[in-house]
């Protein structure tokens, strides 16, 4: 197992502080990645330098991201360093990791926190602190069970460009402002915040992740009733191991709404309906769906899927596209290419909301419907559900020979 420690500081420290720490220790060197988001403390051994401790950060944080006990010590938390010791690291790696945490906490006026024990180990509490009443009341965060209404879109490899990020934000603002990202990043706590009049942090992160060879991705929070979203980009490497023999590269975008909100807001279903159509068309999705995922959990505004309770609703496994899924959905969009193939099978279908050169829009009912309510979903030939390589190449636009 790995061990994790966090150091939260009120002052910014750049990665040069890691070199200062290494210089103060015998047999320790530091290797920093080119993007300066990750570093390794290397420990001398008979076989040469050996990775001992991985360091991530610093990342910006808000008080809401920080443990209560840390807030007692660091009243204005601004930055966090994440330190990890992996299984198989040299014997004294844990000691080195904790010493680094203390070093960062001293330099940045912060505190070091042990995630395994759930307590601060630097600074050590003074004797009188045991008799001082807590400044904040620690409250257990309730676990909320709910259904999710999820919108998911699949874009051709050639369609997700840097400009697509701005188009996404524009559509969300026009049709559902609550779905506009608030905080976003590669992992929680999210390092970036979308501020009024400045979309550049979002579009920059989109561009950075889109350009990664090894399939970039990032996530975001939104405002109620929209809970969260993410973008996952296609792998750009020419040779992909363990991928199906028939696949096409695709990008995906997902939005998750709180299903409870549809019960109290009679207009929300129509809002999501219009948003779905706008995203499908303007983002040039070759396929899109909206469905109800039952029995998810919400803890402190974060969605969790319980493997024993949350309904599985996989539309496209992995990061490749192997054909139309078999799951019925409340809303379905068949974009250019697929619309021509499914049109003959939907000619008399009462659920076709729109049929145009840009695609076919299928709506099964006025309100979100779960899988048990979709028994009338039109049947499509099995040949369309798992296409062969040649059909993929013809249906989904590809560029730069990435097929």
- Residue range 321-342, pLDDT digits in tens: 878 888 999 999 999 888 988 9
23-27, 157-161, 241-245 — which one is most confidently predicted on average? Answer: 23-27
Question: Confidence band (pLDDT; 50, 70, 90) for 136?
Answer: very low
pLDDT in tens, 364-386: 999 999 999 999 999 988 777 66
For residues 364 and 374, the answer to whether their CB atoms sit within 8 Å is yes
Half-sphere exposure of 269 (CA within 13 A, CB side): 16
Measured CA to CA, the distance from residue 4 to residue 162 in angstroms comes to: 35
pLDDT at 61 exceeding the cut of 60:
yes
What percent of the chain is predicted at pLDDT more than 70? 85
Biggest CA pair distance of the chain = 79
What pLDDT is recorded for position 395? 62
Question: Confidence band (pLDDT; 50, 70, 90) for 3?
Answer: confident
Q: Which two tokens stand for residue 11?
A: 């002052």
Question: Confidence band (pLDDT; 50, 70, 90) for 234?
Answer: confident
What pLDDT is recorded for position 387? 58
Task: Say which residues have a Cβ less than 8 Å from residue 130's Cβ, sequence separation at least 6.
Answer: none
pLDDT at 392 exceeding the cut of 60:
no
With residue 57 as reference, give the H or E element that holds it.
strand 50-60
What pLDDT is recorded for position 89? 78
Q: Which two tokens stand for residue 226?
A: 């929209």
Half-sphere exposure of 205 (CA within 13 A, CB side): 21
Long-range own/partner contacts, residues 352-358 (CB < 8 A, 24 or more apart): 354/277, 358/281
> What is the CATH number assigned to the segment(s) 3-131?
3.30.1400
pLDDT in tens, 247-303: 678 899 999 999 999 999 999 999 999 999 999 999 999 999 999 999 999 987 789
pLDDT at 244 exceeding the cut of 80:
no
pLDDT at 241 exceeding the cut of 70:
no
Model pTM above 0.85: no
Domain boundaries of the chain, sorted by first residue: 3-131, 143-395
What pLDDT is recorded for position 272? 98
């Amino acid at each position: 197992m790995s061990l994790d420690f966090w150091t939260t500081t009120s002052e910014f420290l750049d990665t040069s502080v890691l070199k200062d720490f290494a210089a103060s220790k015998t047999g320790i060197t530091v290797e920093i990645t080119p993007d300066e988001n990750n570093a390794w403390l290397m420990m001398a051994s008979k076989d040469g330098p050996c990775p001992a401790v991985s360091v991530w950060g610093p990342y910006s944080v808000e008080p809401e991201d920080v443990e209560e006990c840390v807030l007692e010590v660091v009243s204005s938390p601004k930055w966090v360093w994440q330190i990890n010791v992996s299984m198989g690291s040299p014997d004294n790696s844990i000691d080195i990791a904790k010493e680094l945490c203390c070093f960062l906490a001293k330099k940045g006026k912060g505190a070091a926190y042990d995630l395994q024990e759930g307590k601060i180990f630097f600074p050590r509490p003074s004797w009188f602190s045991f008799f001082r009443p807590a400044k904040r009341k620690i409250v257990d965060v309730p676990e909320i069970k709910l259904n999710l209404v999820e919108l998911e879109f699949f874009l051709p490899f050639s369609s997700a460009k840097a400009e697509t990020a701005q188009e996404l934000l524009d559509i969300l603002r026009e049709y559902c402002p609550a779905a506009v990202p608030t905080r976003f990043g590669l992992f929680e706590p999210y390092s970036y915040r979308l501020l009024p009049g400045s979309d550049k942090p979002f579009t920059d992160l989109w561009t950075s992740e889109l350009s990664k060879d090894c399939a970039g991705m990032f996530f975001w929070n939104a405002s109620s009733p929209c809970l969260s979203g993410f973008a996952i980009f296609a792998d750009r490497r020419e040779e992909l191991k363990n991928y199906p023999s028939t696949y096409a590269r695709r990008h995906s975008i997902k939005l998750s709404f709180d299903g409870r909100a549809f019960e109290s807001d009679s207009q929300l279903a129509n809002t999501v309906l219009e948003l779905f159509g706008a995203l499908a068309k303007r983002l040039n999705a070759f396929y899109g769906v909206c469905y109800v995922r039952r029995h998810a959990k919400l803890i402190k505004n974060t969605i969790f899927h319980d493997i024993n309770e949350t309904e599985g609703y996989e539309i496209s496994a992995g990061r490749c596209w192997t054909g139309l899924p078999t799951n019925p959905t409340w809303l379905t969009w068949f974009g250019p290419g697929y619309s021509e193939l499914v049109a003959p099978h939907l000619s008399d279908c009462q659920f076709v909301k729109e049929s145009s050169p840009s695609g076919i829009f299928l709506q099964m009912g006025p309100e979100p419907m779960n899988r048990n309510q979709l028994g009338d979903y039109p049947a499509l030939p099995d040949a369309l559900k798992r296409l062969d390589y040649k059909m993929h190449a013809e249906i989904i636009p590809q560029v730069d020979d990435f097929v």
